Amino acid sequence: MNTKSLHLLCLVFAIAAGALAPASMSLAAPRHAPKHATHQKPAAEAPAPAPTGQTAVAGGAPSLPAKAWLLMDFDSGEVLASANPDEPLPPASLTKMMTSFLVEQALRSGKLKKDEMVTVSEHAWCRGSSTESCMYLPLHGQATVIDIVRGIVIQSGNDASKAIAEHMAGSEENFAKLMNAEAQRLGMTHTHFVNATGLPDPEHKASARDLAILARAIIGDSADYYPIYAERDFKYNGIKQGNRNALLYTDPTVDGLKTGHTEAAGYCLVTSAKRNGMRLITVILNTHSAQARADETRTLLNWGFANFETATPIQPNTVVANAKVNFGKVDTVPAGLGSPWTVTVPRGQQVQTSVQLKQDLQAPVAKGAVLGKVVASSNGKPVGEAPLVAQADVERAGFMQRTWQHVTRLFGK
């Protein structure tokens, strides 16, 4: 055996020994991770000039005399138009969306029961003030959790919000910690809660974008309880009160969510409507009257449905690309969508897609493992993305096959 052959043989054995070591990277199937606060007189000052809205629609966004506003597509979470979307502002009783959401999630998980009784402490009790929004729970009385939810969502009861906060966390202060933790989990980066009601506090703020994110979570994750947000009235303790969302009475496509008002917050409204299979979420913050928040929301919804449409960039069960796999029994694995995918774009605009696959994938690869993503764009602007997942398992190759693959990779064959 000549010297050159001997060196090559040693190299092969060295590579083979390395092949026995655990792979530096392998892919496995992904695990599933786990209002009205007060009714005070409106501010005497004239409203500030309407902020300029941003949107991809030719001709621009509507002009709305609110301090901040936003239009979001529910399915994708894409912001279609907005003005001052990330400015932290007093949210008033829009706060109670987080309060009710935490209750709904506790009901879903079994931590709370619908017929579980909640006791009203002196701190939670409303003293009959006309400046405060109340469910009128009796002092030291009790109400079921599901009645409390309706009292929060429909009547915007401060008493209901405080009572359930104490019931779930021992105190309203501790409940606010839960609210902030959930806000962080949802990606609400310009929000800080101090209480469960939205009563004025200089540290209690939320942005239009964050409130839309919360509304999207309520609609998507609290499907069993979301119909409550469309109920027009609720009677408790002999007192019948109507939902203050005026659009519930005039627009059959509107099915939520929440109103709010304090002197500092102005008049606020978060709304959702579904027309022809497309759902939009609107947020109006700090406008000058209850009529204005309804009118501005109506304008924004009508403009949104008129100017945007839903598109399906790639059909389900379609192989989008073949991802290269190293050290597997096969060299590639088909990559496709894990679930149906839609994006919302300005009407008439075409949608293009581009594929981004992970590099240096190594077997084993489990069916359902994320291999990369597909990005949709329209008119040069990204409008959404979806993960690409393995459509089949790829087993790790045997010792000799891996050894040969190491050699061929080394010599570029």
121 in catalytic set: no
Thinking of the domain 313-410, which architecture would CATH place it in?
Sandwich (2.60)
* The pLDDT value given to residue 380: 84
Extract the tokens encoding 145: 């959790």
Which position has the higher pLDDT, 172 or 43?
A: 172
* pLDDT in the model for residue 257: 97
How far is CA 115 from its chain centroid? 29
Residue 279: the pLDDT is: 97
CB burial class (10 A; 0-12, 13-18, 19+) of residue 163?
A: buried
Sign for the CA dihedral angle at 48, 49, 50, 52 comes to negative
Alpha carbon distance 291, 261 (integer Å): 12
The residue among 277, 269, 256 whose CA lies nearest residue 344 is 277
Confidence at residue 29, expressed as pLDDT on a 0 to 100 scale: 38
Phi/psi region, residue 59 (left: phi>0; alpha: psi -120 to 50; beta: rest), is: left
- 156 pLDDT higher than 50: yes
Q: Give the pLDDT score at 396.
A: 86
pLDDT in the model for residue 157: 95
Of the listed ranges 20-24, 114-118, 147-151, 201-205, the least confidently predicted one is: 20-24
Q: Which of 161-170, 377-386, 395-404 has the lowest mean pLDDT?
A: 395-404
The 8-class DSSP code of residue 330 comes to: S
Residues in the chain: 413
Taking only the tens place, the pLDDT of each residue in 283-293 is: 999 999 999 99
Res 1: pLDDT: 45
Q: What is the C-alpha end-to-end distance of the chain, expressed in Å?
A: 25
Distance (Å, rounded) from C-alpha 121 to C-alpha 105? 23
* The CATH number, out of the four listed (3.40.50.1820, 3.40.50.300, 3.20.20.70, 3.40.710.10), of the domain defined by the range 54-308: 3.40.710.10
Helices (H), 205-327: 208-221, 247-250, 290-307
Q: Does residue 93 have an active-site annotation?
A: yes
| The most confident of 95-109, 315-329, 340-354, by mean pLDDT | 95-109
Catalytic residue among 82, 100, 133, 156: 156
From the list 93, 100, 133, 222, the catalytic residue is 93
Name the active-site residue from 96, 162, 205, 258.
96
Residues 389 and 366: their CA atoms lie apart, in Å, by 9
> What whole-number distance in Å separates Cα of residue 91 and Cα of residue 213?
14
Q: How far from the centroid of its chain's Cα atoms is residue 152's Cα? A: 21
Across residues 334-363, what is the average pLDDT? 90
In this model, does residue 13 exceed pLDDT 90? no
pTM: predicted TM-score of the whole model, two decimal places: 0.80
Average pLDDT value over all residues in the chain: 86
- Residue-level pLDDT at 36: 44
Strands 319-326 and 361-362, how do they pair? parallel
Under the banding of pLDDT at 50, 70 and 90, the label for residue 44 is very low
Residues 6+ apart with CB under 8 A from 196: 95, 96, 99, 161, 162, 164, 165, 172, 175, 176, 179
pLDDT of residue 132: 81
Q: For residues 115-148, b (16+ Cβ closer than 10 Å) or e, as one string?
A: ebebebbeebbbeeeeebbbbbbeeeeebebbbb
Query: Which residue shows structure tokens 């084993």?
Result: 364
181 or 343: which leads in pLDDT: 181
- 156 noted as active-site residue: yes
The pair of three-digit structure tokens given for residue 285, joined into one six-digit string: 């913050």
Q: Where are the domains of the chain?
A: 54-308, 313-410
Per-residue pLDDT tens digits for 220-254: 999 999 999 999 999 998 889 999 999 999 999 99
Residue 286 to residue 43: CA distance in whole angstroms:
10
Residue 105, CA distances (Å) to 58, 149, 198, 259, 374 in order: 40, 12, 20, 21, 32
